[in-house]
Amino acid sequence: MISEFKFLGAGLGTIALAGVGVGIGVIFNGLLNSISINPSLSKLPFNYAIIGFALTEAIALFTIMIVFLILF
């Protein structure tokens, strides 16, 4: 019975990965919008987008780590 709850918790824990996917999409949507409005300043928004991507991806890595801690 405990193993079923482990699988249920791990499955529910992976819901955060959907949020990470949406967050990355929003970040690069903002990047493309800002570059299309002002192409001459394309370097600064790109740097901010890479930092935002890295922080958002870190949430996915933490989620996977927590899921593996639940399972094993």
User: 4-54, pLDDT tens digit by residue?
Assistant: 898 998 888 888 888 899 999 999 999 999 999 998 888 889 999 999 999
Q: CATH number, domain at 47?
A: 1.20.20.10
Q: Which two tokens stand for residue 30?
A: 């903002």
Report how far residue 28's alpha carbon sits from residue 50's, in angstroms, rounded to the nearest whole number: 9
Concatenating the DSSP letter of every residue in 29-50 gives: HHHHHHHHH-GGG-HHHHHHHH
Number of domains in the chain: 1
Sequence-distant (≥ 6) Cβ neighbours of residue 67 within 8 angstroms: 10, 13, 14
User: 48-61, pLDDT tens digit by residue?
Assistant: 999 999 999 999 99
Domain containing 12: what range?
A: 2-71
